[in-house]
């Protein structure tokens, strides 16, 4: 009734000037005015249902203001090391009370499992609004990480997508993963897309090159969406969705990859910006976001994970073990080795590649070597087992999988093997040098344990003196026979008559008390060999 009343008022108001004008002009003009009046009336009446068809526009929700914005860099290949670093930055941002978390992503991708874990961690973040800012590229695993954020904001020319997973085949060639794995990954990436209000089919097309996605429109509501044929067929009323055209980037045999401009058109991204200043304006930030850089822990972990530093830790640690076994009881070598391997495993723990099993394997290997050297003479099964356990622990601590599944896994395995081989060669050369020159190096000379001195007043016929007691002419030692006063591995002490002197072997181990024979005297260096074969 209110609408009819308004139209009646319009007609009466419009008729008054028309009637007055009709009296002042001719018949033809009057007929034209009457036609015009009728036309106006028809237009007015035909528009009376318009308010029922077009609802009044809703006022936009109030723009959210952010008090504390934090930016975290996410750059380079996605590895376990980057994953753990990013988690530490997230914890730091939360402790700062951030309510807007900007993840500056510039990555070609990387490991699949790590990418999904990071994305799920971002999607479960409820203490801040998360924004993926892509100035250049977020490909493969980085695209998955972006989908975990509440919003994606890109540079117009930045790239997003192409997350097709690959694996290492039995023939050591890389190929795309089988459909069984793709199906599982499709479920995960669709969940990420749905959680962020993005078209699941477009996200799935990033990892499934056989999936074609169409722009569709609902026949009744006019809603525009992006769906695959399977999704259209699964709709409540499939006939209501009309296919308009294929999304070109999802054509067959192509993993979906789009620019920032295109991502906005496909509703994958929220907006495009030129730089961080425009991003700041978009979210109404009064000041630039706080950039969270790495702490000293992150820097130290990164340094210790560098291959050169890893080789250095291994060589120094192995030399420490060698010195400790050569001169047991001193403790300097053992302490040095302990620090080196502690730093190695600590850095791998923070890098996300090591766990307690690796430490247990390493400790078991050291115990086996100690049993071989101190309890079981010679080099047999126990010592070989110890070496294998140590090697396995080092390889496992340096990567996720001992058997590579992806290109990244293969590169990690090759790098770990290279580190082990290089460390072994350097250690062997250093150990040989120490065994040859151990007694000629003052610092090393002090590491030798002095033998226990006998009491001159004690009634004993087996009395020994310290190495400095008496005047021993080393030039006369060549060919002399004696006995190992300590275990020689390969360095130690031997007794010749009343003198106990420092000796070394040419690499063989000689148990305490066994007969020895001097085969070489060079300065202060006395080389002996086992004399059991001479008897």
In this structure, what DSSP letter does residue 196 have?
T
Token pair of 97 as six digits: 């009370």
pLDDT of residue 393: 87
**Kind of pairing between the strands at 213-218 and 224-228:** antiparallel
Q: Which residues contact 335 (CB under 8 A, 6 or more apart)?
A: 320
For residue 326, count other CB atoms closer than 10 A to its CB.
24
Q: Which of 110-124, 256-270, 288-302 has the lowest mean pLDDT?
A: 288-302
Question: How far apart, in whole angstroms, are the C-alpha atoms of residue 342 and residue 211?
Answer: 49
**Residue 186 CB partners (closer than 8 Å, separation 6+):** 204, 207, 208
Cβ atoms of 291 and 102 within 8 Å: the answer is no
Give exposure, 522-534, as e/b (b: 16+ Cβ within 10 Å). Answer: eeebbbbbbbeee
Residue 163 contacts by C-beta under 8 Å, 6 or more apart in sequence?
109, 139, 140, 141, 143, 144, 189, 206, 207, 255
Could you tell me the pLDDT band of residue 185, with boundaries at 50, 70 and 90?
very high
Average pLDDT (227-236) is 92
Which residue blocks in 64-217 are alpha helix, DSSP H? 80-95, 112-123, 141-147, 179-195, 200-205
Residue that the structure tokens 């609408």 belong to: 3
For residues 6 and 48, give the distance between their C-alpha atoms in angstroms, rounded to a whole number: 9
Mean pLDDT of 318-336: 75
pLDDT at 29: 52
The better pLDDT of the pair 530, 198 is held by: 198
- Please, what sign has the CA dihedral across residues 401, 404, 407, 410? positive
Whole-number mean pLDDT of the chain? 79
Low-confidence winner among 15-19, 84-88, 195-199, 218-222 (lowest mean pLDDT): 15-19
pLDDT digits (tens, 9 = 90+) for 334-360: 888 889 999 999 998 888 888 888 889
Q: Out of 56-65, 82-91, 209-218, 501-510, which region has the weakest mean confidence (pLDDT)?
A: 56-65
- Give, rounded to a whole angstrom, the gap between the first and last alpha carbons of the chain: 129
Cβ–Cβ contacts within 10 Å for residue 286, how many?
Answer: 9
- Residues 132-141 pLDDT 10s: 999 999 999 9
Confidence class of residue 248 from pLDDT cuts 50, 70 and 90? very high
DSSP 376: S
* pTM listed for this prediction: 0.69
pLDDT value at residue 98: 95
CA atoms within 13 A on the CB side of 342: 7
* Secondary structure of residue 382 in the 3-state scheme: helix
Quote the tokens at residue 107: 């990555």
When mean pLDDT is compared across 138-152, 171-185, 311-325, the lowest value belongs to: 171-185
Residue with the two structure tokens 């460390």: 423
Range from 59-63, 235-239, 523-527 carrying the lowest mean pLDDT? 59-63
Max Cα distance, the chain (Å):
158
Cis check for the bond before 404: say yes or no (omega within 30 of 0). Answer: no
Please, is 406 exposed, middle or buried when counting C-beta atoms within 10 Å of its C-beta (0-12, 13-18, 19+)? buried
């Amino acid at each position: 009734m209110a609408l009819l009343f308004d139209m009646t008022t319009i007609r009466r108001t419009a008729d008054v000037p028309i009637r007055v004008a009709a009296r002042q002009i001719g018949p033809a003009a009057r007929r034209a005015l009457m036609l015009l009046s009728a036309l106006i009336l028809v237009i007015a009446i035909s528009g009376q249902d318009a308010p029922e068809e077009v609802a009044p526009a809703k006022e936009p929700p109030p723009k959210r203001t952010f008090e504390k914005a934090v930016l975290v860099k996410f750059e380079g290949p996605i590895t376990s090391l980057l994953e753990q670093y990013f988690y530490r930055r997230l914890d730091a941002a939360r402790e700062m009370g951030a309510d807007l978390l900007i993840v500056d992503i510039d990555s070609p991708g990387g490991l699949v499992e790590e990418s999904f874990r990071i994305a799920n961690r971002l999607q479960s973040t409820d203490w801040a609004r998360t924004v993926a800012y892509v100035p250049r590229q977020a490909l493969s695993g980085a695209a998955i990480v972006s989908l975990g954020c509440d919003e994606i904001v890109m540079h117009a020319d930045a790239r997003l997508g192409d997350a097709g997973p690959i694996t290492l085949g039995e023939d050591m060639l890389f190929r795309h993963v089988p459909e069984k794995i793709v199906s599982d990954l499709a479920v995960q990436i669709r969940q990420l897309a749905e959680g962020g209000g993005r078209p699941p089919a477009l996200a799935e097309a990033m990892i499934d090159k056989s999936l074609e996605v169409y722009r569709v429109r609902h026949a009744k509501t006019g809603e525009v969406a992006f769906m695959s044929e399977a999704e259209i067929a699964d709709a409540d009323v499939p006939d209501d969705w009309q296919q308009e055209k294929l999304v070109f980037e999802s054509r067959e045999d192509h993993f979906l990859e789009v620019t920032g401009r295109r991502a906005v058109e496909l509703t994958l991204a929220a907006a495009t910006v030129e730089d961080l200043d425009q991003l700041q304006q978009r979210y109404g930030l009064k000041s630039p976001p706080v950039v969270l850089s790495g702490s000293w822990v992150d820097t130290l972990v990164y340094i210790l994970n560098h291959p050169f530093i890893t080789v250095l830790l291994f060589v120094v640690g192995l030399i420490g073990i060698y010195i400790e076994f050569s001169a047991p009881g001193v403790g300097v070598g053992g302490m040095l080795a302990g620090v080196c391997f502690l730093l190695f495993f600590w850095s791998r723990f923070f890098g996300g590649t090591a766990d307690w099993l690796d430490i247990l394997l390493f400790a078991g290997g050291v115990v086996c070597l100690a049993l071989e050297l101190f309890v079981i003479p010679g080099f047999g099964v126990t010592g070989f087992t110890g070496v294998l356990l140590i090697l396995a622990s080092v390889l496992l601590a340096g990567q996720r999988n001992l058997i590579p599944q992806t290109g990244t896994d293969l590169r990690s395995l090759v790098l770990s093997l290279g580190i082990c081989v290089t460390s072994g060669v350097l250690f062997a050369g250093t150990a040989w040098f120490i065994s040859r020159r151990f007694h000629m190096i003052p610092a090393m000379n002090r590491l030798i344990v002095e033998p226990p001195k006998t009491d001159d007043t004690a009634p004993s016929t087996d009395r020994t003196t310290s190495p400095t007691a008496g005047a021993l002419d080393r030039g006369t030692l060549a060919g002399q026979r004696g006995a190992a006063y300590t275990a020689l591995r390969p360095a130690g002490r031997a007794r010749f008559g009343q003198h106990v002197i420092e000796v070394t072997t040419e690499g063989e181990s000689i148990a305490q008390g066994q007969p020895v024979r001097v085969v070489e005297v060079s300065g202060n260096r006395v080389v002996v060999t086992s004399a059991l074969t001479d008897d």
